[in-house]
Structures are given as structure tokens and as C-alpha cells.
């Protein structure tokens, strides 16, 4: 990792000028009087002189970045209009839909709940509400969604009663046009990795780490932690073993661009490292400005979505070889045929605004060979998380 002086040596004059221009625009839009050009130069110079890392410098030169925490601190608006009754819960308002469920928000005098109503009970593997409930009952960790209880509604549909949290990481990313602050990113991923380390210690694979499944509290600096939700497609070594033996796991798991390469090449014996690939791809997105996905993919229900994702992987990370992805040699469908040879893009190009420690952590997670990916426990000890 670069020492403090190294980041200044690597910082280009054009990048400093871009920051000055950005600061000048911010000052002008804010309606501040005086010489905005001079003030922008002074702010940038102070940031350059006082910062011990590139990340600290970038934060000081991006006055809009702290708005991610400001966005979370705003009160989540209460639903308007009359809601429906679900069991004993009245005035419930729809907030989201999934493949087998619909989620409603219910506010009471004491607290707010999320009611996950199971709407599809036919064979929807790997979605299994029964397995999700069984797994949730065995878990207890601050960063893993807890199950309060289950009920049945007036139509005898199964309902999971869960704690309500106002935001997802998707919400935050959509409001952060300049990217998340380094501080916020570290806080989110420290808790995300803590939850994954807990799951993986039990050999549970979440299988759908994506921004919509990361719930955020209203006060990210408070006592309520970031929470991993939706274990509807999770794999458990005992609970899932009859439907999915460990070497015959379902391949249709994950969300669009966060899907792991093993599942795209028919490796049904994948492990907990699958979640770390998705986490690395998600971290890369949070480190980009604006926070665009690292890889491109069509929606899961569109034709050619898997081929498009594979092509995006190879164009971005380089076409794998037998040397860089040896485990793939034994798969029925391996990635060493049919494809053009694309060189890998350097992480400095893919994540130009990230500090070196952040790029290093992403590079340690987004690795073709699953056995070479950093584990959740190891990632928690990485300098990017510890700093």
C-alpha cells in the first residue's frame, strides 16, 4: 500500500484542477459571495496539505459527498392513504414485490414492521419461504435480518413479520451522484462483512448479495446496524441438503450484474466464496463516482442476460485462462473456448477515485478462482475496513 507521500506523487495536476473546478461550481451554485475561484483554490490547497491519504483528500474536495448521511437522516415518509389489513396488522402499505412475495409496511404506535406476504407457493426453486423461515430461526446476528414471527392472513397466505428498515443501499446509491463518502462506504461494508462472516461460519451461502438486499437505518452512525435481508434463496448445509446437495446447488441464483462467474459456467459445487464475489462487485460500485455498476447485465428475465454478463466480465477483468482460473478446467462448461481474448483493465482505471486500499480489497474479492478470493473474516481485517 502507498505511504502518505505516494498518493501526492501519483495525483495528477489535471486531477487537482478538476477538483478546483468542481469546488468552484459548488460554491457558485451555493450562492456564496466573494471570489469563488480564489476560495476553491484555497480549499483544494488545504485539502492537499492536510490530508494523509487520497481518500481524505477526495472527501474534502467533494463537499456534496456527506449528503449520503444527510439523505439517510431524513425522516422516512409515512405512506399516504388507507392501507390493507394483514392478520392483526392494520393499515399496511405495499412497498416492494419479489418473485414469490410482496412486502408491506405497517406502522404501529410502538414501532414499524415489514410484512412479507408469500404470494407464490408453487415450485419456485431456489426460492423457498419454508427454508427461509427455518434458516432465520437459527440465526442471531445484528447484521442479519431477524424473524419476529410468522402469521397467516385472511387468504391463509403465509406472512413473515420482520423489523422494518427505511432504506436500502439501492436508495442511497440512487441519491449519491458523486459516489458515497469513504466513511459511509467503510461503515456499510464492515457490517456487511460481519454478517457474511457469521453466515459463512455456519456454511450458509446467502446467494443474492445486491444493493436491494442491504438495509440501512435512518441514522447510519447510530446503534441500529446495516442488515442483510432476503434469505429466500439462501443455501444451508442441512436445511437445503435434500433439495440441493452440496455438489448439486442451483445455478439460477444472484441478481444481474452481481452474479458470480461459477454459476455462469455450471459449477454446482460452489461455496461461500460466491457471496464474496458479489460483495466485491458491490464495493466497486460504491467506490465509483458516479456509483455505476462495475459489470453490465440485462435483467434476469431478458434473453441473453448471462452471455451479456460473461462478455462484460471478460472485457472488464480480462478473459480468464487455465492459469488464472484452474478450477474451471474440470467443469462441463468451461470459459476457455469460443471467446475473444480481452486484456484485463487495471483497477486504477476502473476505480480512479478510490483510495489504494479500497481498490486492493475489491481486487482481492473479484477474483475468478474462488479459492483465491479473500474470505469475509479476512476482509474484516483488511486495511480499508480497519482504517
Which residues belong to the active site? 208
**Which cell numbers hold the place of 342?**
480481452
Alpha-carbon distances of 11 from 181, 243, 354, rounded to whole Å? 19, 54, 12
Long-range contacts of 303-307 (CB under 8 A, 24+ apart): 305/256, 306/264
The answer to whether 23 and 60 are in contact (CB under 8 A) is no
**Which cell numbers hold the place of 130?**
419454508
What is the rounded CA–CA span in Å between residue 130 and residue 280?
29
Residues constituting the chain: 387
Sequence-distant (≥ 6) Cβ neighbours of residue 28 within 8 angstroms: 36
In DSSP terms, 167 is beta-bridged to 216
What is the rounded CA–CA span in Å between residue 234 and residue 36?
53
In DSSP terms, 101 is beta-bridged to 118
Sequence-distant (≥ 6) Cβ neighbours of residue 257 within 8 angstroms: 281, 293, 294, 295, 296, 297, 309, 312
The answer to whether 286 and 211 are in contact (CB under 8 A) is no
What is the rounded CA–CA span in Å between residue 187 and residue 225?
9
Helices and strands (DSSP H and E) totals, the chain: 15, 9
**Which cell numbers hold the place of 288?**
465509483
**Which cell numbers hold the place of 198?**
457469521
What is the rounded CA–CA span in Å between residue 142 and residue 221?
15
For residue 320, the SS3 value is coil
Sheet containing strand 167-168, strands side by side: 167-168, 214-216, 227-228
Q: What is the residue whose three cell numbers read 436508495? A: 171
Sequence-distant (≥ 6) Cβ neighbours of residue 29 within 8 angstroms: none
Amino acid at each position: 500500500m502507498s505511504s502518505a507521500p505516494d498518493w501526492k506523487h501519483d495525483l495528477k495536476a489535471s486531477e487537482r484542477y478538476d477538483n478546483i473546478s468542481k469546488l468552484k461550481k459548488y460554491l457558485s451554485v451555493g450562492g456564496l459571495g466573494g471570489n469563488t475561484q480564489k476560495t476553491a483554490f484555497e480549499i483544494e490547497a488545504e485539502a492537499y496539505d492536510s490530508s494523509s491519504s487520497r481518500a481524505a483528500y477526495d472527501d474534502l474536495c467533494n463537499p456534496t459527498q456527506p449528503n449520503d448521511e444527510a439523505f439517510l437522516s431524513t425522516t422516512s415518509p409515512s405512506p399516504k392513504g388507507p392501507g390493507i389489513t394483514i392478520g392483526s396488522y392494520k393499515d399496511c402499505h405495499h412497498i416492494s414485490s419479489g418473485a414469490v412475495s410482496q412486502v408491506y409496511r405497517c406502522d404501529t404506535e410502538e414501532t414499524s414492521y415489514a410484512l412479507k406476504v408469500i404470494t407464490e407457493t408453487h415450485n419456485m426453486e431456489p426460492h423457498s419461504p419454508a427454508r427461509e423461515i427455518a434458516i432465520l430461526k437459527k440465526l442471531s446476528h445484528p447484521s442479519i435480518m431477524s424473524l419476529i414471527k410468522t402469521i397467516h392472513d385472511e387468504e391463509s397466505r403465509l406472512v413473515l413479520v420482520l423489523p422494518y428498515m427505511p432504506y436500502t443501499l439501492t436508495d442511497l446509491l440512487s441519491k449519491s451522484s458523486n459516489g458515497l463518502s469513504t466513511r459511509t462506504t467503510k461503515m456499510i461494508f464492515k457490517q456487511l462483512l460481519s454478517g457474511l462472516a457469521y453466515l459463512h461460519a455456519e456454511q450458509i451461502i446467502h446467494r443474492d448479495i445486491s444493493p436491494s438486499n442491504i438495509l440501512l437505518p435512518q441514522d447510519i452512525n447510530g446503534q441500529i446496524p446495516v442488515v442483510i435481508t432476503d434469505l429466500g434463496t439462501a443455501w444451508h448445509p442441512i436445511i437445503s441438503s435434500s433439495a440441493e446437495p452440496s455438489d448439486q446447488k442451483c445455478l439460477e441464483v444472484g441478481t444481474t450484474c452481481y452474479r458470480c462467474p461459477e454459476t455462469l459456467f455450471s459449477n454446482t459445487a460452489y461455496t461461500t466464496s460466491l457471496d464474496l464475489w458479489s460483495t466485491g462487485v458491490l464495493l466497486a460500485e460504491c467506490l465509483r463516482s458516479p456509483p455505476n455498476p462495475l459489470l453490465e447485465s440485462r435483467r434476469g428475465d431478458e434473453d441473453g442476460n448471462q452471455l451479456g454478463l460473461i462478455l462484460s466480465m471478460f472485457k472488464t477483468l480480462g478473459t480468464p485462462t487455465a492459469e488464472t482460473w484452474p478450477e474451471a478446467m474440470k467443469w462441463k462448461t468451461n470459459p476457455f473456448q469460443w471467446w475473444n481474448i480481452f486484456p484485463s483493465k487495471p483497477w486504477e482505471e476502473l476505480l480512479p477515485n478510490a483510495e489504494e486500499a479500497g481498490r486492493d480489497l475489491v481486487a482481492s474479492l473479484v477474483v475468478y478462482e474462488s479459492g483465491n478470493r479473500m474470505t469475509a473474516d479476512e476482509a474484516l481485517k483488511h486495511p480499508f475496513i480497519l482504517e
